[in-house]
Every structure is written in C-alpha cells, then in structure tokens.
Chains A and B, each alone.
Chain A
Amino acid sequence: MGQTPRSSRAKRYAFPALATAAALFAPVLSGNASAQLAPAASSSAGASATFALPPNAAPNWIFPIGTPGHLAGYNIAVQNELFVPLYNYDTSSGTFALDEKVSAAKPPVYSNGDKTVTITLQKLKWSDGQPVTSRDVQFWYNLVKADKTQWGNYSQGQLPDNISKFTVLSPTTFRLQLTQAYNPGWFTANQLVYITPIPQQAWDRESAKGPVGNFDMTTAGAKKVFSYLVSQSSRLASYASSPLWRVTDGPFQLKTFTTSGYVTLVKSSSYRGPEPARLSSVTLEPFASDEAEFNALRSGEVDYGYIPTADIPQVGAIKASGYTVQPWVGWAISYIPYNFNNPTMGPVFKQLYVRQAVQSAINQQTIADVIWHGYAAVGYGPVPQTPPSSFLSKVQAKNPYPYNLKRSKSLLASHGWTSGPGGVLQCTSPGAGAGHCGAGIAKGTKLAFTVLSESGSTETNNMMQYLQSTLSSVGIGLSVKYEPLNQVLDQTSACKPNQASCSWQGSFFGTQGSWYFPAYPSGEQLFLSGASANFGSYSNPAADKLIQETNVSSSATAMQAYSALLAQDLPVMWLPNPDYQVSAIRSSLKGVLQNPGASFMQIEHWYVSKG
C-alpha cells in the first residue's frame, strides 16, 4: 500500500446526473454521516454523489498491478470498485479489520506451521458472465512473478518472492506454499492484501489483436502480457471505452474517465457479490486547488469534500449549509527521525536520556488541539494511536514520557549538560559513565540541531515554531530549514557518518502523516536495522528481534511488545499525527466509511437517506 500523498482536489449546474443528485439531497438532514451501514431499503435507488479529489490526486492508473509511481490512493480506490481485491480491510466492524463482504475470498486458512495458506474464493462473476476462479488469482501471481521489479509494491524478499509454489486445487480454491513460516496476521494484511483476481479469460493476451491464451504460464509470455496490459493502462483517454477494462467483477463500472482525472462510476448490473452498489453513480471530481474545492463546498456543489486546513475556522459555516464535518483519521504515524549517523549530533542522539528529554519537552495534546485545531491525534509510539486496535500496547497508549519540562531539564543536567552561550546547553562533563554526557560526545558540544521540514503548511510551520520554543525552554537549540516535500525526502536518506549526505540531523515530512501503514502496522520498513525507510539508521537488536517476530512468528503479542519497546526507546521524535483530511459530507449521504488506510473509500456502501 503506497503512501497517499495529497501534496499534495463541478459543478452541479453542468451535469444532469448531478442535478438529480442535488434534488435528492435537497432535504438537508440532521444527524451525522456515520460509518453505520444502513439496510438497503433505506437507500434511494437512482441517486448519485460527487466526491472531491484533492489537487494532484487525480487517478491515472487502472490496471490493478500498479507500476512504480502509480500507487496513489485514489488509483487503488477506483481499482477496488472495479476489481474486487482478494482481501480488503475497513472499519465496518468498528475496528480496522478484514471485511469479508468486500473481499474476493473467504478468510485464509494457515496450516503446516504457518507455511501453507489455503484460500477459497467467494462466488463472484466477471461482467462477461465467467466466474472468478483460482486461475484469475494465478494469472495475477504469474504476471507479478515474471516482472516483479515493474510492480510498484515489490520489496525484495516479500511478495512474490516469499511464495515458493502456487497450486490451483479447484476452480475456487488455491494453495500458496510459503518460503518460511510467517505471522498469519502480517501475511494476510500486508501481503495477501496486494493480490487482486484479474480476468484471465479476457486479459491473457500479448497484444490487442492477439488471441487470448495461457501466455502467462511461461515467464516470457507473462512478461509480454504484463507489458501489453501496462501499455493499455498508460492510455488514460481509452479507459472508459476499452473493452479490456469493461471486464470487471466489482460493484461499479467505469463510465467516464478523462485525462484530467474526472471519473464517473456507475452501478454494475453484473455484480454478484454481497455488497452491491447502493448509488447508481458516483463522480470523482478532481480539483485544481484547495481554494477551488472549498468554493465548490461552500456553494454546495460537491456531496463529499474536504475542508482545507487553512479554512478550518469555517467549519461552522459548512455545517450550517448541510454538511457533516468528520475527520478522516489516517492509519499512520508522524515523527521526526533523528539521524543517528550524523557526525555532529549522532552521538548525542544515541543517548536515550537526550531523546527522553526532548520527548518530555513536547506537549502533544496542545499541538493537536491548538495547532492542528483538534484534527490530529497524539501518537506516542510506532503503532497508530487511533483508531484503537489490538496492536497498541498499554505503555504506548499511556505515553511513557508525558510533558514535563522539569524532568527534561533534570535529565540533561544530571548528564553533564550546563547552560552555555545563548542559553543553549553544552556538554561540560564528557565521558561514558554515569553523570557524563555519553560516549563520543566531546566537551563543549552544543545541544542544538537542525530539522529539515516540509514547507507549505501553516500548521507545520506553527508546530516547528512551537518545538523551537519548548525545546529552547530546556536549553535545546532547534533550527528549522523549510524545503518542498520532495527535497526534504531526498535529503532524508540513511547514510554513513563519513558521507556528505549525512549532514541532515532531523527531518519532518508528515503534514499529512509521515507514514501510512498497511492494515498490520509492523515496522520492518521503518525501524528494522538497515530497512529501506529507516532514514535515521536506528538500530536496536531488541527491536529487530521483535520486528522479526511480528513478521514471522504466530505470536499475537509480538506487536504489543514492539509497540511498548519503541514507545520507550524513542527511535524518532514522536509527534501528533494529522488527520488525512477533514471531510465535509452532505448530511443526507450515509454509509460513508472513512477507512484509516485512506486509499479505500468503498463507495458501494454509500447511499442517500430520503429522510
């Protein structure tokens, strides 16, 4: 699951369908657009809705196997309405969990010491009348296996590398032999979730005019098929007209798709699953800017939009015009990584007491309430703090380092840091023993560092100013350098102390959440020694062991132990996690599940209440 950047989202008078929607939505209802799914009887057949897409989020990829750079959230959201993924997670049960009704298969059965997975498909049909079979899953597997580096979700050692054998047992059942035992929770939520059955009977061809066959059964053939499908997916203008993308098994079909990302989905008459669409059509409307989206919201031209953070003070006016305002909480965490390999500050960051002093000087609740206007959730560890889940340890939930400036000061003072010029602490008692600054910290070292922060957000700027102020009150100097997000990310890379690229000391790229997790929020990419996104080169053998356990052992408590350890060991500076967006949903539009994964909208649940 890729990060869903919204780095970076009309118009009812123009569209008859939307005018119909307007008429239906006219009686503004009180109450909220809760996540509760209503009985079908209360839905209004023939209704439609408009969803506002944020700037730079227009869908641009339809093929369910996304190549690198094409995994943005709204691509996945549209794909999932057309092609039912093998497994889908949402909050329909109250917690973020597997939802069988919107998945193509029944829950997987693990056996042989968690080395074998047997999966049985639900009774779904393709729109050409053919049933969805194990062969369709094998088709996906063969394509990805043949050209795995072209698949954007590929990570070495993971899917498809960790499947040693794919066996079709029957048209509806197949078996995966794994290369080793894996934690079933992790494997289902973070690996199987990527698989989507795709129509082999229609797509297994090497060219547009070529015949359909079993080309995917050889590596060379699979590569050609993959390449053909990728080339078709690069032709945005033909999405709605191409017969290829009309063979679907999802609750919706594609009616319109413009190159600017304007998408209309219509209810699929051929859908045979348990969750048919309740609305007859849904429009995803791309907006060129937050201002344009907010204007549309203000004029009532969208049914489901968002309030840009700059306009949060106008929540009251939006509510008064018939919208329910609901934060869309992300399944994410936000933080500032410490660069443990920075030649100057690395040795300082390596001291747990320094990290504790920093964390104790941060009042997350105030940041969330005041700076983020209440639209951020505190986060004290590596597992998303909201919504509640079985992964969250009590230690993390309770915050092991509550805001306490006194404690922060005494921690530093008791380790040989005394006030220097400008009030910034400096090490006056170097050395490794008790009461000293710590190994590798030279006498006179200043407790001051620079954070590279993404620019462009008032809230982020305010948060940085708050951090500067609160840290300076305990004698820690913080400078902030603002740059565009991609420049921040580019400079925030894991490095060795002698490399020029190791000059960064801290980095913030979480205006919309630093890291979005798949359903199982384990840390193998973030905090495992040498992991690809372990930007600060954090390394802790105890954490490595726990992370391995969360991936490969069947232990249900491994995630909690991991959550507790990293909440205490502070591999990064934990910060509040801003909501994915503050949604404004027309009060009559019900059934909206704001899934924390942020890339799944599950539009089939939406309906219009007649009031």
Chain B
Amino acid sequence: MRSPFGWFLLKRLAQAVVVVFFVTLIVFGLLHALPGGVARGILGAQASNAEIASFNRAQGFDKPLPVQYWMYLSRLLHANLGTSYKLNQSVGSLIASRLPRTLVLTGVSTAVAFVVAVPLGVWQAIRRRRLADYVITTGAFVGYATPVYFLALLLVIVFNADLHLLPSQVPGTYNLGQLLAHPSVLVLPVVTLAVPTIAVFSRYTRSAVLDNLSEDYTRTARAKGAPERRVVGIHVLRNSLTPVIAMLGYYVPVMFSGAIVVEEIFNFPGMGLLFWNAAQTSDYPVLLGVILLIALATVTGSLLADIAQAVADPRVRSGLK
C-alpha cells in the first residue's frame, strides 16, 4: 500500500519540476523582451556595429527566441548554466563561490533571529499587557520599520568608525573556513539582517502563543496540575511553532537569494550582489542561473515547511493525501 506521505512527496516533487520549468520559460521570455541589447552592455559605447554583430552571432542571439531557449534548456540538462559575459567565469563557478558565503550570512542571521525571537515571543505572551510586553512590542515595531540600509550604516558608524570594535567589511579573499574562523567580521552584517527578522518572528510567536494559551487543552493541562513551565514549554510552544515553521520555509528562498543591501554595505559579494550586478549589465546567463536557483529554493523551502509542519502537527499529518 502506498504511504500517503510518500505519495504527497512525489506529488510535490512533480509540481516543483513543472514550476521550475515555467519559471525558466517566463524569465527567459521576459529577459529577452527587455529593451537594451546585451552586446552594448558588455562591449560599451565604443564597440562598432561589426563587433556587436559578431558578439550576437557568437552568443546565438541572431537565432529565433525558441531556438535560443531550446539551446539554453539542453545546456541546462547537461548541468551547464553557461558563462557570464561580464565576469569571464562560468555561472556554475560563480554560484559555487557566492552561495556558501550568502548561506552563512543568511543562515546564521535567521538562526540567530529564531533563537532570539521564539523565547522573546513566548515571554511577551506570558507577560501580556505588562510593561515588558509593551517595551518589546515597541522595539519590534521600530526594528521592523527601520530600513535595513539605515540600520547598517548606523551600526557601521557606531561600532566601526566611532568605537573601532568591529570590522565594517568582510575580506574579499576569505573562503568559507576563514569566514567562520573570524566570526567578528560577520557580527555587523548578521545583526543587521537579524533585527527585522527577530521583529517578525517574535510577533508571530507572541500571537500564536496567545492563541494557544486560551485553548481548551491548555486549560485542561493546568487543571490537571501541570506546572506552568511545562504547560508553556511543552504543550503551548510546540503548537505555537507551526506558523513560525511555515515562515521559516518561506525564508529559504530569501536565504538563497542573498541580501542585496547588506551585501552592498558590508562589501560581502554574495548572491544578491551577483544578481543585482548581472541585472545592470544584462548578463543573462547569470540572471537565469540565479533565478533558477531561487526557484528551486522556493519550491524546496515550501516543501520543507510542509514536511516540518507535518512533523510538528498531527492534524497536518492526518490531512496528507
């Protein structure tokens, strides 16, 4: 007999393939519909018409769009994402060098946010409508409303330029190992990214815990004499995490796509800047490669979120068909 969970997985994977295919199709079409040729972006004002024609021929731009798309797909099936026009490197190697750095940055900041926000949200819910709740709520709103750009500059000016406590940049030559061996370089970028995430997660947790605290099962647990620590820590927390887990799932594509503003300010060349710079120079292979990756991350993220919710919540599990 087929397991409902296996069937669910299979169905979702098939959906993911279709989604990714359509993403490539739409993005490819949109990119090629944009005005402004690649050749001019790459070769500059001084390129002659002959040079531009020769570039277009070499890249296959003189062929009809469906043929170009077919060429792109067949390269993709051979795990070849193409070569960046601008950076003189393969898209695969560019992503391979940028992605781990980005994942460290976004992964650590999301983890920090999760670790800080969940207890904060729970504590706020317990202390509902007391001074601490109001203070943290205000802080969360300020954190959420502060533009990341402003926050980053503020942190740089205070902790780097004035106090000389923390570096303002991540050395460009650092590989992943060096990055982890010098955690001080990550402090400011991680804090910048984590602050708004903490604000979001803590609000979600607070409201979910509040909901659960008024549920019948909580009252029952209390009536049975369970200590408050057990009621909140075991019963309420587990049920309250469902929406946060769903949120985490949707953070996966965000983690893969990088954080343009933070990468810009802290000179942290990751996925965000790779994409941004490619967009400015019409570097199609890079744009397509990154979008493909983000599409994969999106479908994987939502899949993981569903699975995690199923693990955390028996009601979700029983609903799988």
Contact of A61 among B41, B44, B88, B267 (CB under 8 A): B88
Which positions 112-167 of chain B face chain A at CB distance < 8 Å?
153, 156, 160-161, 167
Segment of B1-9, B230-238, B273-281, B293-301 in the binding face: B273-281
Complex contact B265–A260 (CB within 8 A): no
B276 CB, min distance to chain A CBs, angstroms: 9
A213 at the interface (CB under 8 A from B): no
Complex contact A532–B161 (CB within 8 A): no
A234 to B156, CA, bound (A): 37
Q: Return chain B residues, CB-CB under 8 Å to A487.
A: 34-36
B29 at the interface (CB under 8 A from A): no
Complex contact A68–B43 (CB within 8 A): yes
A293 to B172, CA, bound (A): 12
Q: Mark B247-273, 1 if CB is under 8 A from A, else 0.
A: 000000000000000011111110001
Known: A3-B45, A149-B54, A289-B273; 5 extra A-B contacts, CB below 8 A, are: A261-B172, A291-B264, A295-B160, A299-B161, A532-B49
B14 at the interface (CB under 8 A from A): no
Complex contact A10–B277 (CB within 8 A): no
A55 at the interface (CB under 8 A from B): yes
Which positions 284-301 of chain A face chain B at CB distance < 8 Å?
285-289, 291-293, 295-296, 298-299, 301
Q: Return chain B residues, CB-CB under 8 Å to A484.
A: 36, 280
Segment of A11-19, A189-197, A377-385 in the binding face: A11-19
Complex contact A14–B45 (CB within 8 A): no
A262 at the interface (CB under 8 A from B): yes
Contact of A289 among B35, B41, B88, B267 (CB under 8 A): B267
B35 CB, min distance to chain A CBs, angstroms: 5
Complex contact A489–B280 (CB within 8 A): no
A156 to B51, CA, bound (A): 10
A258 at the interface (CB under 8 A from B): yes
B227 at the interface (CB under 8 A from A): no
Q: Return chain A residues, CB-CB under 8 Å to B264.
A: 288-289, 291-292
Q: A11-B167, A292-B266 are in contact. Are A483 and B36 (CB under 8 A)?
A: yes
Show 15 A/B contacts (Cβ-Cβ < 8 Å), sorted by A: A3-B44, A5-B44, A10-B168, A10-B267, A14-B174, A14-B182, A258-B173, A262-B173, A285-B172, A287-B267, A292-B265, A292-B266, A486-B38, A490-B39, A532-B50
A103 to B205, CA, bound (A): 69
Which positions 58-79 of chain B face chain A at CB distance < 8 Å?
none
Q: Return chain A residues, CB-CB under 8 Å to B242.
A: none
Complex contact A2–B46 (CB within 8 A): yes
Complex contact B87–A60 (CB within 8 A): yes
A15 to B185, CA, bound (A): 13
Q: A11-B167, A13-B167, A301-B169 are in contact. Are A236 and B89 (CB under 8 A)?
A: yes
Complex contact A490–B173 (CB within 8 A): no
Q: Return chain B residues, CB-CB under 8 Å to A154.
A: 51
B212 at the interface (CB under 8 A from A): no
Q: Return chain B residues, CB-CB under 8 Å to A261.
A: 172
B114 CB, min distance to chain A CBs, angstroms: 27
Complex contact A69–B87 (CB within 8 A): no
Which positions 494-535 of chain A face chain B at CB distance < 8 Å?
509, 514-515, 525, 532-533
Complex contact A292–B55 (CB within 8 A): no
Complex contact B89–A259 (CB within 8 A): yes
Q: Which residues of A contact B (CB under 8 A)?
A: 2-3, 5, 7-8, 10-11, 13-15, 55-56, 58, 60-61, 68-70, 149, 152, 154-156, 234, 236, 256, 258-262, 285-289, 291-293, 295-296, 298-299, 301, 483-491, 493, 509, 514-515, 525, 532-533
Complex contact A490–B35 (CB within 8 A): yes
Contact of A486 among B37, B54, B168, B268 (CB under 8 A): B37
B15 at the interface (CB under 8 A from A): no
Contact of A288 among B39, B54, B263 (CB under 8 A): B263
Complex contact B173–A509 (CB within 8 A): no
Q: Return chain A residues, CB-CB under 8 Å to B38.
A: 486
A167 to B185, CA, bound (A): 58
Complex contact A2–B44 (CB within 8 A): yes
Q: A10-B169, A262-B172, A532-B49 are in contact. Are A288 and B44 (CB under 8 A)?
A: no
A599 to B39, CA, bound (A): 22
A21 CB, min distance to chain B CBs, angstroms: 15
Complex contact B45–A533 (CB within 8 A): yes
Contact of A298 among B39, B45, B161 (CB under 8 A): B161
Complex contact B40–A260 (CB within 8 A): no
B19 at the interface (CB under 8 A from A): no
Cβ-closest chain A residue relative to B184: A13
B172 CB, min distance to chain A CBs, angstroms: 5
Complex contact A68–B54 (CB within 8 A): yes
B86 at the interface (CB under 8 A from A): yes
* B39, B47, B94, B266 interface centre (most CB from chain A within 10 Å): B47
A15 to B169, CA, bound (A): 13
B291 at the interface (CB under 8 A from A): no
A515 to B277, CA, bound (A): 23
Contact of A296 among B89, B182, B267, B282 (CB under 8 A): B267
Q: Return chain A residues, CB-CB under 8 Å to B277.
A: 55-56
Contact of B47 among A68, A259, A262, A287 (CB under 8 A): A68
A36 to B217, CA, bound (A): 83
A191 CB, min distance to chain B CBs, angstroms: 15
Q: A2-B46, A3-B46 are in contact. Are A11 and B156 (CB under 8 A)?
A: no
